[in-house]
Amino acid sequence: MNAHLQQLLNYTRREFFQRAGMGVGGAALTTLLANDLQAALPTAANPMAARKSHFAPKAKNVIFLHMVGAPSHLDLYDAKPKLQELDGELVPDKLWEGLRLAFIREQPKLMGSPFAFRQQGEAGLPISELMPHLGSVSDELCMIHSLKTDHFNHAPAQLFFQTGFSRFGRPSLGSWVNYGLGSENSNLPGFVVLITGNVAGAGNSLWGSGFLPSIYQGVEFRSSGDPVLFLSNPKGMTGEDRRRIIDSVNHLNQVQLADVGDPEIATRINQYEMAYRMQSAVPELMDISNEPKHIHEQYGTQPGKASFANNCLLARRLVERGVRFVQLFDQGWDHHGSIVKSLKNKCRQVDQPIAALISDLRQRGLLDDTLVVWGAEFGRTPMVQGDRKAPGRDHHKDAYTVWMAGGGVKRGFAYGKTDDIGFNVAENPMHVNDFHATLLHLLGMDHERLTFKFQGLDMRVTGVAGNVVPDIIA
Amino acid sequence: MINRSRTNTPLQALTLLNDPAYVEIGVGLAKRLATRGLNSEMTDRERIAYAFRLCVAREAKPVEIDHLTRVFEQELKYFQDHPQAAQKLIAADDRPEGVGASRMAAWLYVANILLNLDETITKG
C-alpha cells in the first residue's frame, strides 16, 4: 500500500472517530459497533463486562485441553478390532493411491493398537488401558469419533483448530468467546492460558485476538516459578503509590485517546487497571498449597512444581472464580516413532489429573456450567511410520477423536464412526467448523451472528461454513 | 493483509511497572531530571517538559504538563512530610549530590508515569 493511500485511510478512520462524537470512552466502542450482537454490545468503559448470549446457554465457561502434537485416537479412544486383524498388511491400494501424508512416502503397513481397550461405567465407552482414570469417569464423556480437519501439518492445523483459519491473524476461540460474553470476574483476565512443555508450533497466535480488540487476547500464566512475573511493587513503593501512578498514567492516556481515538489506548487503560487488580488476585489464585490433601491426591498435584496436573487444578480454580475460557496446552504428543513408550509416558502425565478435574467439577456442581474439551490439531494414521521395532504413526487429518464433558453435552455418548481401520469417517462426519459452531452454540451463541466487521466482511470463527451438531447436545 | 499481533496485556503493564530493569530505568531518568540544571534558574515545570519530550519525542501539551507538575508537587510535599517513605523508595546510592531522597522520590513518580504512557511504549 502506498503512503498516500495509507494516509487517506488513517484520515478516514480519525474522522470517523471524531464524528462518532461519543467522547473519550466512545472511541474504542466504534470498532465494536460494527458487530451484530444487538442484545449485548461490549462497551468501551468495560469491554469485559459480562453480557447476555444470543439464547440461553448450556455452558458458561470452557476448559479446553489441547494435546499439542496430536495423540493417536486409535490407541486411546477409537477401538478397531479389524485394524488389529490386518496388522502388518499393506494399506489397501485404493486408500494409498493419490494419498499425501506428512512424512510417510512408501506404501505403508497397517498397525493395530498395541494397547487393550476397557469398557468401564454404564455406557461402556471403550477407552485405552493407558487412560484408566479417564475410563473411570467415561460416563461423563461425549466422544466425537468423526472429527475432520483440513490440514496435516502441526502449525496450520493448530491454528485451524483454535482459530478456524489455517493462517495467522484470526481471533482464537477464547477471544471470540470473551468478545461475545465478557467475563464474570473483573480481577482476572477472561481468557487464561496455561502451558506445559514448549509452546506449540503456531505460537501465541493460538490465543491471540487477531482483528478483535486486543483486550480479548489470552493471557499466559507461567507454569513454573511465579505464574505472573512482576506482581510485586518495587521496594519501598506502597499500594497507594502504585494506585496513584496508574491513575496518572491512565489520565494521560485518556487525554491521548481523546486526541487520536486509537482503540488500543482504551485497551491499554483497561489492561493497567487489570494489572493493578491482578496484583492482589493472582497470588491468591495461584497458591494451591491451601487445597486439602485429598484434592492433591486426587489430581496428583505438588505445589510449586510445574506440571499438567497443577494446571488442571488451576483450571478448576479459574472457572470457580468466573474466568470464562481456560486453555491448557500440553506438549509432547507427536509420536512418529516409539509410540508404545512415548504414549504411555504422556498418558501417565495427563490421565489422573484430567479425570480428577472432571470429578472435582462434578462434585462442586461446576460441571453443568463448564464445558471441558479434550482435543488436538489432528489424529494419527492407522498405518505405521518407521521401524517396526519402535513404530510410530504419521499425522492424519481425515478422521480423529475429540471429546467433551459437562456444559450441556450428552453423557456417556459416542458420536460418529470411522471405517474398520479408522482411516475415514463412516458415519456422521463433523468438520472442525461444525465443532466450533457447536461449541459456540453450547455457550448460547449463534456462530452466524457472532461477527466482527473486518476488511469489509462480517468475519466469523466459522468463515462461511459450520453447522451445529444437535445430536451431541443433551 | 495481516497485522502484526499487538502486545497489549496486563502482563506487559506489570513488566513495565515492576520489572527491576524498568524500575532501574525509572531511577535513572529520575536522576537525570533531578540534576538537570541543578544550579540554574530552571524550574521543575521546565524539567517536566524536558522529561516528556525525552520519553515521547514531542512537545507536551499544556494539560499534560499541568497534570505532571501537579503530581510532582503533590508527591514532593508528601515525601518532604514523610522522609522515611522517600528513604525506603530511594536507596542511598541513588541520591545524587545536592538532591535529597524526597526530591528523587517525587521524580521517580514522574519517571514511572512517563515510562508507562501508551505513547512512550508505541511512539505512536
Answer yes or no: do A245 and B1 touch at CB < 8 A: no
Res. B46 pLDDT band, cuts 50 70 90: very high
Query: Which residue reads 486383524 in cell numbers?
Result: A85
Give the three-state DSSP class for A148. strand
pLDDT at A449 over 60: yes
Helix (H) or strand (E) holding B81: helix B62-81
DSSP A102: S
pLDDT of residue A305: 86
Interface mutation vs chain A, best among B118, B121, B122, most A CBs within 10 Å: B118
A148: β partners? A431
pLDDT at A322: 94
Q: Are A378 and A157 in contact (CB under 8 A)?
A: yes
Predicted pLDDT at A29 = 42
Task: For residue B60, give every residue at least 6 positions away whose Cβ sits within 8 Å of its Cβ, in sequence order, or none.
Answer: B48, B49, B52, B53, B68
Between β-strands A392-396 and A117-119, what pairing exists: parallel, antiparallel or unpaired?
A: unpaired
Task: Give yes or no for residue A304 having a pLDDT over 90.
Answer: no
User: Looking at the predicted structure, is the pLDDT value of residue A91 above 80?
Assistant: yes
Tell me the nearest-neighbour CA distance from A335 into chain B, angstroms. 31
| Average pLDDT value for chain A | 90
Q: What per-residue confidence (pLDDT) applies to A186?
A: 87
Domain ranges of chain A: 32-231+283-472
Model confidence at B49: pLDDT above 70: yes
Give the model's pLDDT for residue A5.
39
What is the residue whose three cell numbers read 490465543? A207
Would the CB atoms of A220 and B67 count as touching at under 8 Å? no
Largest CA distance in chain A: 74
Q: Is the pLDDT reported for residue A23 higher than 60?
A: no
Contact A274 B13 (CB under 8 A): yes
Tens digit of each residue's pLDDT (9 = 90 or more) over A169-203: 999 999 999 999 999 888 999 999 999 999 999 99
Judge residue A53's burial from the number of C-beta atoms within 10 Å of its C-beta, 0-12 exposed, 13-18 middle, 19 or more buried: buried
Q: Would you state the pLDDT for residue A44?
A: 63
For A245-291, write each residue's pLDDT tens digit.
999 999 999 999 999 988 889 999 999 999 999 999 999 998 999 99
**Predicted local confidence at residue A35, as pLDDT:** 34
In chain A, what percentage of residues exceed pLDDT 70?
Answer: 91
Distances (CA, A) of A129 to A66, A351, A400, A458: 21, 10, 19, 46
Phi-psi region of A406 (alpha: psi -120 to 50; beta: other; left: phi over 0): left
Residues of B in contact with A168 (CB under 8 A): 2, 5
* pLDDT at residue A226, rounded to an integer: 77
ipTM for the complex shown: 0.95
Other residues' Cβ atoms within 10 Å of the Cβ of residue B43: 11
Instruction: Tell me the residue length of chain B.
Output: 124
Report residue A355 as a C-alpha cell: 479425570
Kindly write down the DSSP assignment for every residue of A359-387, as one continuous string: HHHHHTT-TTTEEEEEE-S-EEEEEEES-
**What whole-number distance in Å separates Cα of residue B10 and Cα of residue B116?**
12
Output the pLDDT for position A8.
40
What one-character DSSP code corresponds to residue A231?
-
- What integer pLDDT is reported at residue B2 of this predicted model? 55
Stated as kind and residue range, the H or E segment containing A393 is: strand A392-396
Q: Which of A230, A251, A268 sits opposite B18 (nearest CB)?
A: A230
**According to the model, what pLDDT value does residue A42 have?**
66
Q: Which of A38-42, A253-257, A410-414, B59-63 has the lowest mean pLDDT?
A: A38-42
Please, which residues have CB within 8 angstroms of residue B36's CB and are 6 or more apart in sequence? B42, B47, B50
- Per the CB < 8 A criterion, the answer to whether A136 and A143 are in contact is no
Any B CB within 8 A of A235 CB? yes
DSSP string, A395-418: EE-SSEEEEEEETTBPSSEEE-EE
pLDDT tens figures, A338-373: 999 999 999 999 999 999 999 999 999 999 999 999
Give mean pLDDT, residues A39-45: 56
Span A393-415, pLDDT tens digits: 999 999 999 999 999 999 999 99
Q: Is some CB atom of chain A closer than 8 A to the CB atom of B65?
A: no
pLDDT of residue A414: 98
| pTM for the full predicted model | 0.89
Asked whether residue B20 carries a pLDDT value surpassing 70, the answer given is: yes
Length of chain A: 474
Query: Nine-digit cell at A182?
Result: 465478557
Of B2, B8, B121, the CB nearest to A267: B8
Question: How does residue A224 score in pLDDT terms, banded at 50, 70 and 90?
Answer: confident
- Is A262 within 8 Å of B90 when comparing Cβ atoms? no
Q: Can you give the pLDDT at residue A421?
A: 97
- Helices B20-35 and B44-56: crossing angle in degrees, nearest 10, is 140
User: Measured between CA atoms, how close is A272 to chain B, in angstroms?
Assistant: 6
Hey, what's the cell of B85?
517513605
Supply the pLDDT for residue B1.
52
Query: DSSP assignment, residue A172?
Result: P
d(CA A348, CA A59): 29
Q: Which pLDDT score, from 0 to 100, does residue A41 have?
A: 52
Are A59 and A442 within 8 A, CB to CB?
yes
Strand A417-418 to A425-427 pairing: antiparallel
Using CB atoms, pick whichever of B12, B89, B118 lies closest to residue A256.
Answer: B118
A37 pLDDT higher than 80: no
Residue range A32-231+283-472, CATH number: 3.40.720
Give the Cβ contact number of residue B115 at 10 Å.
19
Q: Which residue in this structure is represented by grid cell 480454580?
A: A317
Average pLDDT, integer, range A426-441: 98
Q: Label residues A320-330 b or e (16+ Cβ within 10 Å = b).
A: bebbbbbbbbb
Chain B residues with CB under 8 Å of A455 CB are: 1
In chain B, domain spans: 43-124
Q: What is the DSSP letter of A92?
A: P
- Do A325 and A177 form a contact (C-beta atoms < 8 A)? yes
Kindly report the average pLDDT of chain B as a whole number.
93
Secondary structure tally for chain B: helices H, strands E: 7, 0
Integer angstrom CA distances of residue A409 from A14, A432, A474: 46, 17, 5
**Predicted pLDDT at A33:** 38
Does A39 have pLDDT greater than 60? no
Reduced DSSP (H G I as helix, E B as strand, rest coil) percent helix, strand, coil of chain A, to 5: 40, 20, 45
User: Which chain A residues are closer than 8 Å to B78 by Cβ?
Assistant: none
Give every CB contact of residue A400 below 8 A, 6+ residues apart in sequence. Answer: A70, A73, A78, A147, A148, A149, A376, A378, A379, A380
Please give the pLDDT value at position A222: 86
Helix (H), strand (E) at residue A58: none
